[in-house]
Structure 1
Amino acid sequence: MHIGILTGGGDCPGLNAVIRAVTLALIEGCGARVTGIERGFLGLLEDKCRPLDAQTVRGLVAEGGTVLGTHNRADPFHYFGAGGSDCSGRALDFLGRHSIDALVAIGGDGTMTIAERFARLGVPVIGVPKTIDNDLACNERSFGFDSAVAVVSEALGRLETTARSHGRVMIVETMGRYAGWIALEGGLAGGADAILLPEHPYQPETLAAFCRRRLAEQGYALICLAEGAHAIGAELTVQQHIEASPDPLRLGGVSQLLLRQLEGQLGAEVEVRHTLLGHVQRGGSPTAFDRVLATRFGVAAASLVMRKQFGRMVALQGDRCVDVGLADVAGRNRLVPQDHELMLAARDLGVCLG
C-alpha cells in the first residue's frame, strides 16, 4: 500500500505531529510506503514529493509548521496558475504515475472541500481537520487552536500590565475571520473585559459606555476582538483582496478602526492603544494538548486508511475520535452561537460582548 500525505492551507502548530503519527502508524500497522506531497495540492500539480519513513518523522512531534510545506492558492479545480482552469486531471495523473493508493489531506475548510471533490472523482481520501479558527463543521476541536489561544492569553496578560500602569484602554486583535473561537477562549483565559466576535456585531456606543465604567472601577480596560468583528450594520474590515486565493478577502485592521471609534466616544483624556497579534498565533511549537490531539488524529486517519474507509474526516466529538463524511464538512463552518456555554459564562462574569 502506497499512501500520500499533504498539508494544505495555512500553517499551524501540530501539522508535523500529524505527519509523524500517520507515517508511523501506517508503517507499523501494515508496512505501508508513505510519500509526502510538498506544498499541499500544489505538489500534485507540479509533481513535487519525497519519501517519508520512520527515521524522517520520529522527531517531529514538537516542531511547529510543516516539513512538507503548504500552499493556500493551489485549488486543482480552480488553479490560478493556469488562469483559473480545472487542473484536477493533472493531479489525478500524479497519483497514477506514482502509484499512490490513497491520500491523507490535512487542512481546514478549503482543504476539506477540495478533498471531498477528489473523493467524488473516485480518489480514496481521508481528511484530518486543521484550523486555528476551530471552525470546521462536525469537529469540536482542531489542533493548532489550543496553541493559538495560549498566545492570545499570554499577550493579554502582558498588555494588561501596561493598561493598568497607564490607565489605558488596550485592544488586542486576534485571528478569526468568520468564527470567533480564538477571541472567545483567548479572551476568557486572558481576563479580557470585553470580547468581540464576528458572529455577534457590537454597538460602539455600548462598548464605550462599558469602557467608561471599567475605567472608573479598575482604572483600565482590556478588549479582545477577532479580525472579523464589526459594528452593527458595518462591513468586515478588509485589508486587501487576493483573487488567486480560495478566500480572496484578507481581513485586518479592525482594532485600529475600533480605536478611532472609542477615541471619538471617550474623548482625548482617555488613551486607547491597539495590538495586532497576526501570524504569531500560528507559529511556534504546539502545546502539549495540540501534540496529543494531532497524534490522535494521525493514528485515527491511518486506521481509516488501513480499513479502507475513505471519503471520511477524523474528528473530535465528546473527547472521542470519530469519523464523519467529507460531504458533511465541505463548505460548512462551525460558528459561535449566542447560547454557547462559554458565551453564557462570559456574560455571568460581566464581560461585555458588544
Structure 2
Amino acid sequence: MPKEYLPKIRRIAINTGGGDAPGLNAVIRAATLAALDRGWEVLGIRRGYMGLLQDEVDGEPGLMDLSDRVRGITHLGGTILGTTARGNLFGLEPRQPDGTWGPTDPSDDIMQRFGELGIDALVAIGGDGSLKIAHRLFLKGLRVVGVPKTIDNDLGATDMTFGFQTAVDVATEAIGRLHSTAEAHQRVMVVQVMGRHTGWIALESGLAGGADVILVPEIPYSVDRIAAKIVERERNRRRFSIIVVAEGARAAGGSPSYVEGTGRYGGIADRLAAEIEAATGKETRTLTLGHIQRGGSPVPYDRNLALRFGAAAVHAIEMGNFGCMVALQGKAVRSVPLGEAVTDIKRVDPMGEVVRTARRLGVSFGD
C-alpha cells in the first residue's frame, strides 16, 4: 500500500481473552516494544474487554499503560493483562437486575469506548472464541489484528499456536514419570490431558512419553480394544500400561464425558479407569493434569513464536492490514483473513503420518 494511504496510527491497545497459555506475556512484550519503536502509545485492556467498560477491574485500573510494564516478562506464564473465558460479547445471557436472564450485546459501548480513548487499532490475542469476537468487532468498524493463542493447536490457518509445545512438554514429563511407578505396582495408569475437540496434546505427548494407548476425539474407541491391548502386554510380561486420553475423547457410539452440573468436559479418565478395571481385573489409577498444562514458563519454542507473532501483528497494523490474523505457515509468519482463520478447526487426521507412526510402534488408539 502506498505510504500516503497507510493509516495514521498514534495509539494501539492489546488484550488477551479465553484460556491462558504460556507465551501470552511474550506476545504482549513484542507488540509493545515494536509499537513503541514506531512512536505509538500502547494501552493494555484488562480481562478481555472488561477494562474498557469498567474503571477498575479486580481492584486495578481497567486500562494499563504498557510503555514501562513489559520489561522481563517474556519468560513468565499467564498474562499481565488477565483474561476471561466468559468474554463473549455477542449473545451473552447474564443475570438482569430483576433476577432474570436475557441476552445482551455491549459491542456498541465497546466501540464507543475505543473512539473516546483514541485507540486506532487493537491487537487481540486469543483462541477461536476470542478471535470470533474480534472479527465481529472488525465488521463493526474496529481496526483489528488477531494473534492465535490456544494450547490445543487447533486453528487451521496456522501450523502452530504458541503454548502448545509447552503443554506437550508438561504432559510428556508427567507421562514419563508414571512409567516407573506403574511398573513397580503393575498398574494401568490413565492420564487425562486437555483437548476438548482435538487430540493434538494427547497424540504428541503420548507418542513422546511412550504411552501404550492414546485416545483422541477424532478416533472413537472401544473399551474391549483397549482391554485387548492390556491383556496382550500381560502375555508379553509387560504387566503395566500407560493410557493417555484427551478430555474430549469418546467411545464409539457414545458421547464425551462432562463434569456433572457444569457442562464442562471432564471425568473421562475416571470413567475409563472403572471400565478398564472391570474388563481386565487390573488395578487402574488416574491422573488428570488439568490446568498445570497451561501454567508455568513457556518453553523456548513458544517464547520465540510468541515474540514473532507480536512483532508481526504490529507490522500488520503499520501496513494497514486489518481484519487479519498472524499465522505460522511453513517457516514464515504471514497474515491471513481473520474471518477464515476462525472457521477452520485443525483436527488430528486418523490416517495422518503421526498416527501411522504411533501405530507402527505398537500404540493402540482403541479402534
Larger radius of gyration: 2
Match of 1:301 in 2: 313
* Cα distance in 1 between the residues matched to 2:21 and 2:87: 18
- Distance (Å, rounded) in 2 between the aligned partners of 1:282 and 1:235: 25
Partner of 1:26 in structure 2? 35
Q: Secondary structure at the match of 1:296?
A: helix
2:189 maps to a residue whose letter is M
TM-score, normalization by structure 1: 0.95
Is 1:277 aligned to 2:289, yes or no? yes
Cα distance, 1:80 vs structure 2: 3.5
Alignment counterpart, residue 271 of structure 2, candidates 220, 235, 257? 257
CA positional deviation for 1:235 = 0.9
Aligned equivalents of 2:261, 2:317: Cα separation in 1: 38
Moved more, 90-99 or 326-335: 326-335
Listed as ranges, the matches of 1:187-266 within 5 Å are 187-217=206-236, 218-240=238-260, 249-266=263-280
CA distance in 2, matches of 1:106, 1:133: 15
AA aligned to 2:266 is G
Alpha-carbon separation, structure 1, partners of 2:212 and 2:53: 48
Give me the whole-angstrom Cα distance separating, in 1, the residues matched to 2:200 and 2:229: 22
TM alignment of 1:316-327, pairs within 5 A: 316-327=328-339
Structure 1 residues 85-132: Cα deviation after superposition (integer angstroms, max 9, x where no partner): 111011111101111000000010101110111111111000000000
CA shift, 1:79, in A, is 3.2
Does the 8 A contact of 1:73 with 1:80 survive in 2?
no
Specify every segment of 5 or more residues in structure 2 that has no aligned partner in the other structure, as ranges: 1-9, 56-61, 97-101
Q: CA deviation at 1:241?
A: 5.4
Aligned length: 344
Deviations 1:202-226 (A, max 9, x none): 0110110001112332221100010
Off by >4 Å, runs of 4+ in structure 1: none
SS at match of 1:25: helix
| Alpha-carbon contact 2:78-2:296 (below 8 Å) kept | yes
SS at match of 1:322: strand
* In structure 2, distance between residues paired with 1:241 and 1:79: 19
Distance, in Å, in 1 between the alignment partners of 2:264 and 2:53 is 25
Q: Which moved more, 1:327-336 or 1:143-152?
A: 327-336
1:154 aligns to what? 173
Instruction: State whether structure 2 residue 352 is matched by structure 1 residue 340.
Output: yes
Spell out the pairing of 1:169-188 with structure 2 (5 A cutoff). 169-188=188-207
**2:43 and 2:363 mapped to 1: Cα distance?**
49
TM-score by length of 2: 0.91
Percent identity reads 48
Q: Distance in 2 between matches of 1:66 and 1:59?
A: 13
User: Aligned partner of 2:47: which letter?
Assistant: R
1:42 aligns with 2:32: no
User: 1:146, 1:216 → 2: CA distance?
Assistant: 36
CA contact (8 A) 1:62 1:291 kept: yes
Q: Which runs of no fewer than 5 residues in structure 1 stay unpaired?
A: 243-248
The equivalent residue for 2:58 is none
1:180-213, CA deviations, whole angstroms, 9 ceiling, x for partnerless residues? 0000001111111110001111011011000111
The Cα RMSD (Å) is 1.2
Residue by residue over 1:218-271, the C-alpha shift from the partner in whole angstroms, topping out at 9 and shown as x without a partner, is 2211000100011101111011455xxxxxx3111100110111111102xx21
CA distance in 2, matches of 1:197, 1:15: 26
| Matching residue of 1:57 | 70
Q: Which amino acid aligns with 1:37?
A: I
- Alignment match, 1:10: 19
Tell me what 1:93 maps to. Answer: 112
Check the 8 A contact 2:87/2:130 in 1, yes or no: no
Compute the displacement of 1:348 (Å).
Answer: 1.1
